[in-house]
Amino acid sequence: MTEQQTEQAPAFYNQTWDLEYRHALGDTAGRFLNGLAEGKIWGIKSQDGRVIVPPRSFDDHTFTKNTEWVEVGTTGVIEMSTVVYEGFRGLPDPPYAIGYALLDGADTALVGYIRGVDLTDQEHAIEATKIGTRVKVVFAEKPSGTSADYWFEPID
Partner 1 sequence: MVNVGIAGFGQSKLVTRRTDVTFPELVREGVELTLDDAGMTMDDVDAIVYPLAPDALIGVNNGERWVVDALGAAGKPMMRVNNGGATGMSAVLAAWTHIASGEFDVVLVAGADRVSESGSAQSVLNKMWDPAYERLVPLNTITMLALSAQRYMHLYDSTERDMALVAEKNRYHASLNPNAHLRKPITVDEVLESRTLAWPIKLGDACPATTGAAGLVLVSEKYAKEHNLQPAWIRGIGQNTETFWMGDRVGPKHRGDHADAVSLEEAFQTAYEMAGVTDPKTQVDVAEVYAPFSSVELHVIEAAGLAERGGAPALLREGKFRLGNEGTVVNPSGGTLCSNPIAVTGTIRVGEAANQVRGRAGAIQVPGARVAVASAIGGDHQFYSTMVLSTDLEEI
Closest CA to 94 of 85, 103, 102: 85
Scored b (16 or more CB within 10 A) or e, 52-88 reads bbbbbeebeeeeeebeeebebebebbbeebebeeeee
Among 15, 27, 141, 156, binds partner 1 (CB under 8 A): 15
CB of 2 to partner 1, least distance (A): 18
Q: What share of the chain is helix, strand, coil (3-state, %, to 5)?
A: 20, 30, 50
Q: Binding string, 106-135, against partner 1, x = CB under 8 A?
A: xxxxxxxx--------x--xx---xx----
Beta bridge partners of 155: none
Cβ closer to partner 1: 65 or 94? 94
Q: Residue 104 interacts with partner 1 (CB under 8 A)?
A: no
Residues forming contacts to partner 1 in the complex (CB under 8 A) are 11-12, 15, 17, 21, 23, 25-26, 29, 32-33, 50, 52-54, 56, 60-61, 79-86, 88-92, 96, 98-100, 102, 106-113, 122, 125-126, 130-131, 146-148
